[in-house]
Structure 1
Amino acid sequence: MLYSLLSFSIKNTETLVSNYIKFLKITLINKLYKLVPHSLFYNNIFIKFYIKELKFNTNKYEIKHLNYYNSRINPLYQATVPTEIFINNKNIKFNFNLFKFPKIDSQNNLILNGLKKVFISKIKRDSGIYFNKIKKTNYTVHRASILFNNFNLINIELKNNQFKIYNFKKKIEIDFIIFLHYLGINNKDILRLSKYGNSIFLKTILQNSIKNYNLISKNIIFYLKYLKELAFYFEPINYNISKEFSLNINYKQYFSNFIELEKLQNRMGHIFRNNLSYLSSDLINILDFLIDFKFNKKNFIDLDNFSNKKLENILNIFLDQIDTILEKRLNFLLNNLKKITISNKFNFINLINDKQNIYNFKDQFNIHPLIQYLDQTNFLSEFMHKFKLIKSTKINMREFKLRDIRTSELGKICLINTSEGLNSGLVVYLPQNIIIDNSQINTPIYTNIKTFKIKTINSTQQEKYNISLESKLLRKNKNSFFLNSITFYKNYLEKNFLNKESYFEQSELFSLSQNLVPFLIHNEPTRVLMGAKMQTQSLPLIYKQKPLVTTSANQILSLKNNNNIYALQEGIITYVSSYKIIMRDLLNREIIYYLPNFNFSNQNTLINYTPLVWPGERVFPGQLLANSQDFIDNEFSVGNNCFVLYGSYLGYDFEDALIINKNLIENNIFTSLHLDSYEISCLYDTNNYSEITTCNVPKYTMFAKRNLDKFGIIKEGSKVLEDDLICGKIRLYNLNNKQESLGKFLYVLFGYHLRNIKDTSVLISSGNGGRVAKIELFSNSNIFKEFNTYLKFKIFIIKQRILETGDKLWGRYGNKGVIAHIANSVDLPYTEDSLTPDIITTSVGVPSRMNLGQLYESLFGLNFYYLDKRILLKNNLNSKLGPNYLKTLLYNYLKQINMYKGIFQFNSYNFGKSQLFNGKTGEQLKGTSLFGVSFYTKLIHMVKEKVHYRTIGPYSNITQQPIKSRSKKGAQRFGEMEVWALEAFGAAYNLKELFTFKSDNIKARFNLQEYLLYDLPLKNSILSESFYLILNQLKSLALNIEALILSENDRSLININNK
């Protein structure tokens, strides 16, 4: 499917696959045409390369191998050039393999060692001319850097009234005027072409440059020839063949994609052309600019302006390394020409094309930091992982300027979404609707409000437009009789009259994960970031619902989904099942669409597809046939609408902890499916016997073998528990001399024969019980033949993960919580119409975290639950339709449910709150609480995978407290929130042990050791060293606190302030 369902998408198939095809058909071939020589002559041996017959060979695998992550699967292309060697009036023809590089599938994924990986794009400095000012102690340097292919080839500086050319690598300094003379541009031409031709300043510089002729050395002369060759370079690359073949050293430093003319016209007012007739005027224009900057006639352009940046993709890595790879391959061919003869030509060809001698990009990509393991928790996480960008400049990474969002990055980088921690601001994400064209990010703008015409512009074009931000409208006042708006012009925000010709939408400033959050502007930005991050960590559920309060991003995300299955032709559906859909088109052709069910993602979540059509239905091209597990009716949804009560229940609502209704577990509301695979091989050995599968395996009970068939392999559909046998397998081996003598001895004594059988059966590991979904058998495949394997099969087991105490649930506003208690439905409070809450959470965290959007969603959700409706909201309703529009809308719906349903929530005393009743006694509770409907989802951080058994671990030498972090082998270090959790459950003895024996109470720790080792009496531990430290700190504030306890013997008071 090479067409895109949505035009504005960076990661759609149209953008990525077409770029990769263009790379294979045009870019790579053109570069190989320039790099690979047509012929070589070396030691009376003539080699001819037929570069125009260049081929790209590929390997093919079945889909089932790719889906189940065989570790040896590596789809790749291999570049091959037909070559002919002439030696002693005879010729040898063979295909010379150059290199291998991986394939990219239609979803921009790399498959390396059977795993799906993705390349993270990097923002880097574009080629061009950059002017900057460097302040020294006694003088100021004005520099013009010409960047060729990410390499500062020429640096022209104006320092101490002298123009110099610097090469920092070669440590060469040349007078710029002498370089112009060397190019044939004399002083008269300089004065004629320069706008400062009549100035005394420029004439003085020209006179002083004559003195520098005496400083010219041989190195400077060679460098001048090099610069001249660079300036007048328009011929194909020459190859100088000596003992070693070498490509032109300066090839990387030449123009491959020089400065855009439009960009230079915008900055300089002149066109810096790569043309002989304009070379002199272009160089003198640089000289004029440096003089302008010296006398403050022009302002420096920000080097970090986004118009100076470009994106580096995976294709650039190919192109940057091909020349060095070809150089090594051709040198390897020349060095082995001595071994060639007509008789052993096949051995020579095998040596040259041996896979160990061919460079494979796979080895580099496996350790490349920008090629990451694809996050496939849900489709949004996969989509946002491909939208990730990394900022890369030469500025110190500790500077905060690099991490800030600049005005030139509006519409190019998401304003909120970034990574947390040390990489905050360095790892960013792309906005919702953008297009990448020639490594530049283009943003769509609306050029006409009435017709909704859309135009895409890059950063350079954006400076020419006066773009208004759609949501930021200012009222009329006495000073202005027109409607004003905040506009974006030349990378600055201004207040101007309302511009109806071009404007941004608010959704263009944020990524898709932020636009999925309704009431975005009612939340604090860090909470919005947290909510966006948690959406990418949400698990697909068995039973899910569409959110009652939604945004347009849910449908847009489904349009960007390439995993859904669409109809390619018009026709009639004839057959529908869980694994295939059969259709008859208008030409009576049978088209079969296979559903890739029972696959597992990189995070071991189940990938499942649901058909949306029925037999006899007529479908049209582009119609959706099947949805993936993250979508309902082509709308992204990974959660459920739950009744939420903001209140307290038996103290279990500590620190955002959640109390859930047991009905959620009984009805499998938040139950998710996970897939485990067991790969089993049967080995053969020429010396001993092979492994065989059988159900007659000794030492196992009949209950453990109840699900095995007669071949010893578990049956499909059977339910397995812990320590169940899934494959009975034994291995026979020959007895050696010592074992035979021992066997005879045992037979004489006990009548027992020594068995030559070894048990190699496979059992279900602890905690991984489930149901067998599929068994795949592979026999005599070339993929695993070299491992002495004659049979190989995989067993896929689906596990159900039900909610339990310790799991995490979250809302869309960063309001996450851990399940602290599972309560019976009859014990929970209920409303007047007998609705019991599914989730109870504390209301203390709402005002402190300033995520008020959850309150709006709760009230709107309850209204639409009663009215049996759904609402699609835009995030800028208040700013677009007035500051009180959202409140008026809410009042209107509260009146509707009062009128049609009799639910009285619209009153001036307790607005939006409900009266609750005690579930145990039926009594009316004092006061009212907020009761509503919110959208909740389960996170992938489940408690079963977070339980770890650790030892006490080391202690810090200074504080004598346990060290935290698992990497340092830390152990039971409890913080404030963990202590509050134990307090809520009344675990007093655990708290005492953690605060005293396992903390910094040294005497109690040694006393416990003596009690365990030498059976000495255990003394009662009272206070830790940290408590004494608090007392000393309070004494420094002139506060005397005395702590008294009762003596065990005479019940008298003892002062424990002094140890």
Structure 2
Amino acid sequence: MAAAPNASTNPKNGRNHSRLSFAKITDTLTVPDLLALQTESFDWLVGNDVWKARLAEGQEQGRTDLALHSGLEEIFEEISPIEDLGETMQLGFTSPELEDPKYSIDECKERGKTYAAPLYVNAEFMNHMTGEIKTQTVFMGDFPLMTERGTFIINGTERVVVSQLVRSPGVYFERQQEKTSDKDIYSARVIPSRGAWLEFEIDKRDQVGVRIDRKRKQSVTVFLKALGMTSEEIMDEFQGFASIESTLEKDAILTKEEALKDIYRKLRPGEQVAAEAARALLDNFYFNPKRYDLAKVGRYKVNRKLGIDAPLSDSVLTVQDIVRTIKYLVSLHAEKTTLDGVRDGEPVQLRLDVDDIDHFGNRRIRAVGELIQNQVRTGLSRMERVVRERMTTQDIEAITPQTLINVRPVVAAIKEFFGTSQLSQFMDQNNPLAGLTHKRRLSALGPGGLSRERAGVEVRDVHPSHYGRMCPIETPEGPNIGLIGSLASFGRINSFGFIETPYRRVVNGQVTTTIDYLTASEEDDFVVAQANAPLTDSFHFQDDKVLVRKKGGEVELVGKDEVDYMDVSPRQMVSVATSLIPFLEHDDANRALMGANMQRQAVPLLRSESPLVGTGMEGYTAIDAGDVVTADKAGVVSEVSADAVTLQLDEGGTQTYYLRKFDRSNQGTSYNHRVVVSAGERVEQGEVIADGPATENGELALGKNLLVAFMPWEGYNYEDAMILSQNLVKDDTLSSIHIEEYEVDARDTKLGKEEITRDLPNVSPDLLADLDERGIIRIGAEVRPGDILVGKVTPKGETELSAEERLLRAIFNEKSREVRDTSLKVPHGEEGTIIGVKVFDSQDGDDELGSGVNQRVVVYIAQKRKITAGDKLAGRHGNKGVISTILPVEDMPFLADGTPVDIVLNPLGVPGRMNFGQVLEIHLGWLAKQGWNVEGIQEWASALPEAARSAEPGTKVATPVFDGAYEREIEGLLDSTLPNRDGERLIGSSGKAQLFDGRSGEPFPEPVSVGYMYILKLHHLVDDKIHARSTGPYSMITQQPLGGKAQFGGQRFGEMEVWALEAYGAAYALQELLTIKSDDILGRVKVYEAIVKGENIQEPGIPESFKVLMKEMQSLCLNVEVLSADGQAVSLRDTDDEVFRAAEELGINISSRFESSSVDDI
């Protein structure tokens, strides 16, 4: 194909420095809006102006598959009218409207509110007896709104609703091998969106049976007779089908009534049978729109599969559907290959085939809009029951719509969905890519989906129909593998919920610019060529035979005139995260999976740096993630400050953009905007004004470009460990800011009000130095574990005081006796600087704090974390490792010109893992850093784009997925790099350099691969994981220390560890581990006391677990006693007594989190 012009790889954004692209293929389609999956679905639900405009545009283009009503209109239409049992009155709903939200997005986050708008509908009550109509606008509760970034703010936290992959309603045919004979058994299922299933099957005796609502099997001819067909009509309809004829012969029932009764008997055995009841039962199962719903998509699938032309609004089954299903099934059984049918008013020959349930033509997406719609439907159906009840109980004269409607069930249903549904998730805000990927996630789990335990290998597997729809690479490792995926870069969801992917139309061997979006079922009918099929300048295929794929993923060579479509882009099969991996084509899939997943765990660094070697997707990702600030309208920057930018607009007037400074993200990373424009600069629409976290100049920048050498070094990089240079610590190259939030409430207790104050009992003034007069820490204070953040006292129960004590208390006004200190302190292992304090007071009236809370104080602590040994780093190719040591820069290996390397990796990590992309990346990274110039006509440079024949040092390059730089080009360019100041090239076409040992200055014996790799610092930081405990909380029952860092627990000395000490005969070590260090209640307190006072440690007592064992045996009615050496029964104290006695006698409580700092108390 003609070389791609070196346009900026990101047309959405003018500010982005154009990357030098090695792409050989021009994309015919720019990357679509990556959040459309979320926003378009929600727009449809609420029916806003954006959706109306999109609908009008689609109708102009002649699309017929679009939903004409918004989601909310659909449900209110569905439920209307609600009638009472005597059908004397009815209540209908029309035109749902959303008003303006009460709080802005920022206010909701600040106050812990839900970002929602009040929903109103017009309710019309009609009395059929009098003909009277009453209309009212009724409030239906607050309806959560989506922000423009595709998230919801629920109780102040940002959440994402993940789209669900479910089996589509429709009709499915299956073939199974009969266990005893070799016969194939065919079955058919009609699966509705809601309602009873209908199943048909042909057994090994060629009898056709039917199961109604998964109950007992019955004869299909009886079922047809119950639907009103006579034996003659059945014979006419199924002439020539032996299976139906033999089933009919064995069927003794003649009339419709008998057939109905027979079915009723089998469905409800033991009940009295009336023909009317039997008819009503069958009607309710399949023909009553209130009870049965195929949904539009189900009707569409049934029409396509069976060759029927019924309107999409027919949401219930018809006799014709049932007859066609049986005909299709018996034709399959009779081994026919085609069946006559109708499609779009034209007669067609249907190909007979069984269905593959994992095919993406049979799995559809329930996006946000539909998930919320289903939830509102549940709420409305609960409300419907209440309305019916009220219609019968209230006085008919006094009834108005308002008195009938109770909105509680609707509000509760919506709340329940956002608060507790598996699909409403706490947003992953680690970095912009994490957020974007979270919104594009597709999950097969959740209500109405699969469960982890039941999902087999087939469901999880990559399927040919995933191509261009769901990424084959990006999926979690572990129990959810294959059940959670990510939407492919160009995929979009059609109005039926199927994923479509774009293809360029091919006419007579010529590729046109017309683009068609095809679903997986439609694609099966066509022959599709790859995006990299070579083309002539006139867009004809160069070769006579073209490599294509056909139905079922079969790949073969066909003549160029047979091709129907061609891929639009090489990156169309992968997701956004995967398309950010350069040289993906050289990585093993398992490692690419880790690479795609680990990019989401990268922590935003102090100073972001976009990759030297990118793929051209960085700009699209950063802008669509919504974490950079872009200009809505063109203009000139008139004013710039750290937290606001004002534009003088071309159309007149000004617009100010407010930036977020050092906010805490959901994951505790720092969310900060940095202005990239200056006053007087011109800004076009869509151009970047300010960078967000992990972005640079509007491009995603998750890590740093570091100089890497692949060599062993004293065993310090054994097993994926990494060696870092001290320079990276000193220059804060890999430092990141983390923000934690702590809050404390002052409540009303039974004994009185809690109080926030700096007047704390028994606390030395030094500890109060940083508290202001309110008792709240000042901004800018440095805090360490145990420091007081907010002083708070809680009343404790009054004991009867003697007269003298009361007098003393009155004289000295001494409070300390009646309150205890319950201040908020910095937890173990946390430290940093106070960067923000918020105080909410219930007396201000505006902050609804919840019942019993008078005051709430929120404190933010920020810390700068430098990179340290134990932190986890990774590249983009699944090459991850932990830092084993940080060497002084003078000890690091260095190049011939004295440049020390930043990081030393183990070369053994490459061949076995088969992720060679990282090796090509370091070579291209070196090239990008040094610059190059190709002189003369070189054979290897024949495919090189013209603009890529020379580059300045530090040029950022793009090597798109499946369309990147070739190895021979990299090899050639390494010989064409610009020389350094000494006129030398340190690295030639081998990609290796002579390195010298920093300690001795001696050269290493072999040349070493050196280059620039993009390295990410991952969220697994050693500071968050390191943990130690001396004393702390104990479990209620066993009295053993709790486990885990969150509980400030200890390390479990388990069964196998006990065996190890037993094997060595270490009896005393074992005894103290199992008693005084664990659950010997009195013993552990005495040990603590002895250590503090410097005395010898006493003998251990009886551990609590022994007492628990005794209690268990006693509960089994075994009389168990403990006898002393001389045969006397020993009485064991109760646990509560022991704890109480230890605390009373010794005045020590070792289970509190923060011990008193003075030994005198003890």
Whether TM exceeds 0.5 here: the answer is: yes
* SS, match of residue 491 in structure 1: helix
Q: Which amino acid aligns with 1:171?
A: R
- 1:510, distance to aligned residue in structure 2 (A): 1.3
- C-alpha change, 1:91 and 1:806, in structure 2 (3 Å) is same
**1:329 aligns to 2:383 (yes or no):** yes
993, 998, 1012: which one aligns with 1:919: 998
Q: Distance in 2 between matches of 1:682 and 1:809?
A: 42
Q: Distance in 2 between matches of 1:613 and 1:192?
A: 79
Counterpart of 1:416 in structure 2 is 473
- 1:724, distance to aligned residue in structure 2 (A): 4.2
Counterpart of 1:677 in structure 2 is 741
933, 938, 956: which one aligns with 1:870: 956
- 1:441, distance to aligned residue in structure 2 (A): 0.3
Q: Percent identity?
A: 22
Q: Is the 1:6–1:559 contact (alpha carbons within 8 Å) kept by the matching residues of 2?
A: no
Q: Distance in 1 between matches of 2:927 and 2:747?
A: 65
Counterpart of 1:468 in structure 2 is 529
- C-alpha change, 1:418 and 1:996, in structure 2 (3 Å) is closer
Counterpart of 1:890 in structure 2 is 971
Corresponding pairs, count: 949
Counterpart of 1:584 in structure 2 is 648
Counterpart of 2:614 in structure 1 is 550
Stretch deviating more after TM superposition (198-207 or 550-559): 198-207
- C-alpha change, 1:708 and 1:460, in structure 2 (3 Å) is same
* SS, match of residue 311 in structure 1: strand
User: Whose RCO is larger (CA < 8 A, sep 6+)?
Assistant: 2
- 1:98, distance to aligned residue in structure 2 (A): 5.5
Stretch deviating more after TM superposition (1006-1015 or 480-489): 1006-1015
Q: Which amino acid aligns with 2:1009?
A: L
Q: Is the 1:307–1:459 contact (alpha carbons within 8 Å) kept by the matching residues of 2?
A: yes
Q: Is the 2:576–2:621 contact (alpha carbons within 8 Å) kept by the matching residues of 1?
A: yes
* SS, match of residue 555 in structure 1: helix
Q: Is the 1:997–1:1005 contact (alpha carbons within 8 Å) kept by the matching residues of 2?
A: no
**1:427 aligns to 2:502 (yes or no):** no
* SS, match of residue 70 in structure 2: helix
905, 914, 929: which one aligns with 2:1008: 929
Q: Distance in 2 between matches of 1:360 and 1:284?
A: 39
* SS, match of residue 928 in structure 2: helix
Q: What do the CA deviations read for 1:671-723 (whole angstroms, capped 9, x no partner)?
A: 111112233445578995773545x7676566544444454444434444444
Q: Which amino acid aligns with 2:664?
A: F
- 1:414, distance to aligned residue in structure 2 (A): 1.2
- C-alpha change, 1:1002 and 1:56, in structure 2 (3 Å) is same
Q: Distance in 2 between matches of 1:141 and 1:212?
A: 28
- C-alpha change, 1:806 and 1:394, in structure 2 (3 Å) is closer
Counterpart of 2:437 in structure 1 is 384
- 1:367, distance to aligned residue in structure 2 (A): 2.5
**1:771 aligns to 2:857 (yes or no):** no
519, 529, 533: which one aligns with 2:583: 519
Question: Residues 854-865 of structure 1: matches in 2 within 5 Å?
Answer: 854-865=918-929
* SS, match of residue 918 in structure 1: coil
Q: Distance in 2 between matches of 1:463 and 1:39?
A: 47
- C-alpha change, 1:894 and 1:757, in structure 2 (3 Å) is same
Q: Is the 1:81–1:96 contact (alpha carbons within 8 Å) kept by the matching residues of 2?
A: yes
Question: Residues 361-400 of structure 1: matches in 2 within 5 Å?
Answer: 361-391=414-444, 397=454, 399-400=456-457
**1:944 aligns to 2:1023 (yes or no):** yes
Question: Residues 642-657 of structure 1: matches in 2 within 5 Å?
Answer: 642-657=706-721
- 1:964, distance to aligned residue in structure 2 (A): 12
Q: Distance in 2 between matches of 1:785 and 1:906?
A: 65
Q: What do the CA deviations read for 1:259-305 (whole angstroms, capped 9, x no partner)?
A: 465x6676555546678999676554434322321222234232332
- 1:409, distance to aligned residue in structure 2 (A): 2.1
Q: Which amino acid aligns with 2:706?
A: C
- C-alpha change, 1:493 and 1:718, in structure 2 (3 Å) is same
Q: Is the 1:466–1:502 contact (alpha carbons within 8 Å) kept by the matching residues of 2?
A: yes
Unaligned runs of 5+ in 2: 1-11, 14-29, 52-68, 265-274, 338-352, 536-540, 932-952, 1033-1041, 1077-1095, 1098-1162
Q: Is the 1:98–1:329 contact (alpha carbons within 8 Å) kept by the matching residues of 2?
A: no
- C-alpha change, 1:765 and 1:132, in structure 2 (3 Å) is closer
Q: Which amino acid aligns with 1:390?
A: S
Q: Which amino acid aligns with 1:367?
A: T
* SS, match of residue 488 in structure 2: coil
Q: Distance in 2 between matches of 1:862 and 1:99?
A: 60
**1:596 aligns to 2:660 (yes or no):** yes
Q: Distance in 2 between matches of 1:996 and 1:203?
A: 73
**1:147 aligns to 2:211 (yes or no):** no
Counterpart of 2:845 in structure 1 is 781
- C-alpha change, 1:345 and 1:462, in structure 2 (3 Å) is closer
Counterpart of 1:167 in structure 2 is 212
- C-alpha change, 1:829 and 1:304, in structure 2 (3 Å) is closer
- 1:199, distance to aligned residue in structure 2 (A): 6.8
- 1:585, distance to aligned residue in structure 2 (A): 2.3
- C-alpha change, 1:753 and 1:906, in structure 2 (3 Å) is closer
- C-alpha change, 1:630 and 1:324, in structure 2 (3 Å) is closer
Q: What do the CA deviations read for 1:566-590 (whole angstroms, capped 9, x no partner)?
A: 2223333221112222223245423
Question: Residues 898-1047 of structure 1: matches in 2 within 5 Å?
Answer: 902-905=983-986, 911-949=990-1028, 971=1051, 999=1060, 1001-1009=1062-1070
- 1:605, distance to aligned residue in structure 2 (A): 1.1
Counterpart of 2:116 in structure 1 is 75
Q: Distance in 2 between matches of 1:998 and 1:667?
A: 49
Q: Is the 2:505–2:564 contact (alpha carbons within 8 Å) kept by the matching residues of 1?
A: yes
Q: Distance in 2 between matches of 1:405 and 1:391?
A: 14
Stretch deviating more after TM superposition (862-871 or 323-332): 323-332
Counterpart of 1:848 in structure 2 is 912
**1:404 aligns to 2:461 (yes or no):** yes
Q: Distance in 1 between matches of 2:670 and 2:425?
A: 21
Q: Distance in 1 between matches of 2:701 and 2:968?
A: 27
836, 856, 873: which one aligns with 1:809: 873
Q: What do the CA deviations read for 1:172-193 (whole angstroms, capped 9, x no partner)?
A: 62433x5545555556655655
Q: Is the 2:35–2:150 contact (alpha carbons within 8 Å) kept by the matching residues of 1?
A: no
Counterpart of 2:292 in structure 1 is 253
- C-alpha change, 1:324 and 1:644, in structure 2 (3 Å) is closer
Q: Is the 1:11–1:387 contact (alpha carbons within 8 Å) kept by the matching residues of 2?
A: no
- 1:657, distance to aligned residue in structure 2 (A): 1.0
Q: Distance in 1 between matches of 2:756 and 2:864?
A: 32
Q: Distance in 2 between matches of 1:843 and 1:218?
A: 76
- 1:227, distance to aligned residue in structure 2 (A): 8.3
Q: Distance in 1 between matches of 2:1014 and 2:201?
A: 61
Q: Is the 1:97–1:353 contact (alpha carbons within 8 Å) kept by the matching residues of 2?
A: no
Q: Is the 1:431–1:512 contact (alpha carbons within 8 Å) kept by the matching residues of 2?
A: yes
* SS, match of residue 73 in structure 2: helix
- C-alpha change, 1:485 and 1:6, in structure 2 (3 Å) is closer
499, 511, 517: which one aligns with 1:441: 499
Q: Distance in 1 between matches of 2:405 and 2:455?
A: 48
Q: Is the 2:190–2:198 contact (alpha carbons within 8 Å) kept by the matching residues of 1?
A: yes
- 1:325, distance to aligned residue in structure 2 (A): 3.5
Q: Distance in 2 between matches of 1:802 and 1:938?
A: 11
Unaligned runs of 5+ in 1: 234-247, 475-479, 954-962, 975-993, 1017-1059
Counterpart of 2:91 in structure 1 is 49
Q: Which amino acid aligns with 1:167?
A: I
Q: Distance in 2 between matches of 1:94 and 1:719?
A: 59
Stretch deviating more after TM superposition (300-309 or 16-25): 16-25
- C-alpha change, 1:33 and 1:828, in structure 2 (3 Å) is closer
Stretch deviating more after TM superposition (813-822 or 923-932): 923-932
- 1:341, distance to aligned residue in structure 2 (A): 8.4
- 1:445, distance to aligned residue in structure 2 (A): 1.8
Stretch deviating more after TM superposition (450-459 or 799-808): 450-459
- C-alpha change, 1:402 and 1:760, in structure 2 (3 Å) is closer
Q: Is the 1:99–1:359 contact (alpha carbons within 8 Å) kept by the matching residues of 2?
A: no
Q: Distance in 2 between matches of 1:284 and 1:91?
A: 44
Task: Give the structure-2-normalised TM-score.
Answer: 0.72
Q: Distance in 2 between matches of 1:276 and 1:187?
A: 28
Q: What do the CA deviations read for 1:725-763 (whole angstroms, capped 9, x no partner)?
A: 444556789977627652436899x99897666555444
- 1:115, distance to aligned residue in structure 2 (A): 2.3
Q: Distance in 2 between matches of 1:386 and 1:445?
A: 24
Q: Is the 2:284–2:291 contact (alpha carbons within 8 Å) kept by the matching residues of 1?
A: no
- 1:74, distance to aligned residue in structure 2 (A): 6.1
